[in-house]
Chains A and B, each alone.
Chain A
Amino acid sequence: MSLLEIDSLKVYYSTRKGWVKAVDGVSFNVEKGEIVGLAGESGCGKSTMAFTIMRLLPPEGRIISGKILFDGENLVEKSEEEMRKIRWRKISMIFQSAMNALNPVLSIERQMVDAIRAHLPMTREEAVEKAKRLFEMVGLNPDRIKEYPHEFSGGMRQRVMIAMALAADPQLVIADEPTTGLDVITQSKILRLMRDLQKKLNLSIMLITHDLAVIAETCDRVAIMYAGKIVEYSDVVTLFTCPRHPYAYMLISAFPSIKSKGRRLKEIKGSPPGLINPPPGCRFNPRCPYAIEKCRVEEPPYIKIGKGHFVACHLAEKLDFSIGGSSHGW
């Protein structure tokens, strides 16, 4: 049984202009002990996914249908009471710009202790001890626990957030853009820390980011989202070497790399659609150079095309993009 199983999830936001279909029929799994990446551009719905799993949607956000099975239990049906026991203890989250989420006027020790004691039954002394051990685990000097957030650099604050996310030994950590805003060297250190902790504690991590390079280096499996749907889901090597969905292929090809020389990259014309009235049929069809009539009319089904490899494209079986080798064709 997978640790996290998402089945046909639909999450819409109600706005004055209509329903924003942020997540529109998404299914994928996260197994124990693996790092899964959720990649996509801004507005594709990946942050909404994270908030939905944690049941932290704002009032305008509604789960329309679908299931979120965590360890067999459906989180969609849980009450707020029950979710409180799950949040942080079984599933925890590191938010975007979390390093700016610390209160500047309280010491870090105070904030960690408050957070720990809010979720775990401990005395103050025990919580302080735990905070110190967490500091060691993320590579920070435990003696610095009494300092204030502004005395820590961005990278160090991010480690504090990771420490707090791990305080209650969760099984799944959702990390939403954990390294945006950090310089490249610090980013490497944070990602390496996350991978080490993942191995040591046998965690599962769901890494949400727009940066495909980070995904390539950190994740075991990756799902690419576009306009509220998953277009391709597979292990990371397959996705980067032989993707099946045109968007996945074009996105990977449009990523500049320090290793690629001279080749002119191809852009994807147009821009992602609004989510209130997405285009009929396949949502990518207005921008897809391979689209046929069927793509404009019928939504492609999400089918298994190989071991652990899912694609949502009418032409998935016919298209063959091999990256790094000869050009594509069909």
Chain B
Amino acid sequence: MAGEPLLKVENLKKYFPVRRGFLSMLLSKKELYVKAVDGISFSVNEGEIFCLAGESGCGKTTTARLILRLIPPTDGKIFYKGVDITSLKKREIRKVRQEMQMIFQDPYQSLNPRSRVFDIINEPLEINRKDLDFKEKQNLVFKALEDVRLPPEEYANKYPHELSGGERQRVAIARALVLNPRLIVADEPVSMLDASIRVGVLNLLLDLRSKYNLTLLYITHDLAQVRYIGNHLAIMYLGKIVEMGSVDDIMEKPMHPYTQALLSNVPIPDPTIKRRKIMIKGEIPDPVNLPPGCRFHPRCPYSQRICSEKEPPLIEVDKNHYVACHFPLR
């Protein structure tokens, strides 16, 4: 269905209860929650790379796990290909999951140290494609290895500890590709790799996207990666989306004070560019004790009274450019 977004998320929420000591439970009945994801909505079109960016603790990783139904949402809906998958039963989820795969951040921990590369990539086939015989499965594994530019003869029999970080990440990508998914959720896939290897993996993702018309939900804290690989971007802060739009629009005309500050503080590998960095006071607050109104207001240089009273909704301020701020900067 053309025009229908591949993935749509509506008012998604995930609250984690906080375990409290016995005494504080006696003294106060109020339940404390970490509102990791607090009502976010966005849609991802087929074939695009949608970036979810923000600092640690903003809820982006939790969002990834919600979409793949690794954890159940507290509220909200997730639509895949127009179908509501939020409360699907286990058996139906398994079918959907074959079309959605994930790449994790840590190349050293995301592969079973006791399995060979072949077995690691073969596992999704073993579980989901029992209709295939061994030869067919083997061919698919080899094809996946070739797709990620690891020659199968050399790599299939190796163990993870014999591979470098970049090679392991490629194996993880091959594992994600082998079931022919439509959507791949990538959680900081290159953040733990060396600089010279990162670009290789990023280019690989771009090439695979073109070759297979994949859709990527790319999660990172590094805005430079977003600029390089992303089409659309949503900036998260403390569980909410504060700005959303195309990567170019946001990077050239950021409208939320937080986005502005972030962009001005990202270091640039060019000593000839001198900029004035926007210094934001304070640190990211405790997610259990969220400030009232706009979550960013205690640190915002432009905050006014209304910001501490009323949460700003995410509204379209410019064509396809959404901001959640009472006084968006133009």
A interface with B by C-beta (< 8 Å): 41-42, 153, 155-156, 183-189, 192, 210-217, 236-237, 240-241, 250-252, 254-261, 264-269, 271-272, 324
A188 touches B279 (CB 8 A): yes
B225 touches A189 (CB 8 A): no
Given contacts A256-B225, A256-B227, A258-B224, are A210 and B270 in contact (CB under 8 A)?
A: no
A254 touches B198 (CB 8 A): yes
CA A266 to CA B226, docked complex, whole Å: 17
What are 27 A-B pairs with beta-carbon distances under 8 A? A41-B194, A153-B283, A184-B223, A185-B261, A187-B267, A210-B194, A212-B195, A213-B268, A215-B269, A216-B268, A254-B195, A254-B199, A255-B269, A256-B222, A256-B227, A257-B227, A257-B270, A258-B224, A258-B227, A258-B266, A258-B268, A260-B227, A260-B228, A261-B248, A267-B200, A268-B200, A271-B167
Chain A residue nearest to B261 (CB atoms) is A185
Q: What residues of B have a CB within 8 angstroms of the CB of A271 in the complex?
A: 164, 166-167, 197
A256 touches B224 (CB 8 A): yes
Min Cβ gap A56→B in Å is 25
A258 touches B251 (CB 8 A): yes
Indicate if B284 sits at the interface (CB-CB under 8 A). Answer: yes
Apart from A268-B199, A271-B167, 12 more pairs, CB < 8 Å: A155-B283, A183-B284, A185-B262, A188-B279, A192-B279, A216-B271, A250-B196, A255-B269, A257-B224, A257-B269, A265-B228, A267-B200
* Selected contact of B56 from candidates A183, A240, A258, A260, CB within 8 Å: A183
Q: Which of A184, A211, A272 has the most CB atoms of chain B within a 10 A radius of its CB?
A: A184
Chain B residue nearest to A253 (CB atoms) is B199
Given contacts A256-B227, A258-B251, are A217 and B268 in contact (CB under 8 A)?
A: yes
Which secondary structure characterizes the binding site on chain B? helix
Min Cβ gap B236→A in Å is 13
Q: What residues of B have a CB within 8 angstroms of the CB of A257 in the complex?
A: 224, 227, 268-270
Chain B residue nearest to A251 (CB atoms) is B196
Interface residues of B in 251-295 (CB under 8 A from A): 251, 261-263, 265-273, 277, 279-280, 283-284
Chain B residue nearest to A186 (CB atoms) is B283
CA A264 to CA B283, docked complex, whole Å: 35
* Selected contact of A236 from candidates B199, B225, B271, CB within 8 Å: B271
Interface size class of B (residues with CB under 8 A): 35 or more
* Selected contact of A212 from candidates B199, B222, B228, B269, CB within 8 Å: B269
Indicate if B203 sits at the interface (CB-CB under 8 A). Answer: yes
Q: What residues of A have a CB within 8 angstroms of the CB of B227 in the complex?
A: 256-261
A267 touches B280 (CB 8 A): no
Given contacts A183-B221, A184-B221, A271-B166, are A259 and B265 in contact (CB under 8 A)?
A: no
B262 touches A240 (CB 8 A): no
A252 touches B269 (CB 8 A): yes
* Selected contact of A264 from candidates B164, B198, B203, B226, CB within 8 Å: B203
Q: Which of B166, B200, B225, B270 has the most CB atoms of chain A within a 10 A radius of its CB?
A: B270
Indicate if B106 sits at the interface (CB-CB under 8 A). Answer: no
Min Cβ gap A259→B in Å is 6
Q: What residues of B have a CB within 8 angstroms of the CB of A237 in the complex?
A: 271-272
Given contacts A216-B268, A216-B269, A252-B269, are A184 and B262 in contact (CB under 8 A)?
A: yes
CA A236 to CA B138, docked complex, whole Å: 51
A241 touches B272 (CB 8 A): yes
Indicate if B55 sits at the interface (CB-CB under 8 A). Answer: yes
Indicate if B202 sits at the interface (CB-CB under 8 A). Answer: yes
Interface residues of B in 210-253 (CB under 8 A from A): 221-228, 248, 251
CA A186 to CA B265, docked complex, whole Å: 9
B283 touches A41 (CB 8 A): no
CA A208 to CA B13, docked complex, whole Å: 41
* Selected contact of A269 from candidates B200, B226, B261, CB within 8 Å: B200
CA A188 to CA B279, docked complex, whole Å: 8
Min Cβ gap B180→A in Å is 26
A185 touches B280 (CB 8 A): yes
* Selected contact of B277 from candidates A188, A241, A250, A267, CB within 8 Å: A188
* Selected contact of B268 from candidates A251, A259, A266, CB within 8 Å: A259
CA A192 to CA B248, docked complex, whole Å: 28
Q: Which of B206, B226, B266, B271 has the most CB atoms of chain A within a 10 A radius of its CB?
A: B271
CA A236 to CA B197, docked complex, whole Å: 23
Min Cβ gap B122→A in Å is 25
B224 touches A213 (CB 8 A): yes
Top 9 nearest A-B pairs (CB, nearest first) are: A213-B267, A267-B200, A41-B194, A183-B55, A256-B228, A256-B224, A268-B196, A188-B265, A213-B269
Min Cβ gap A238→B in Å is 9
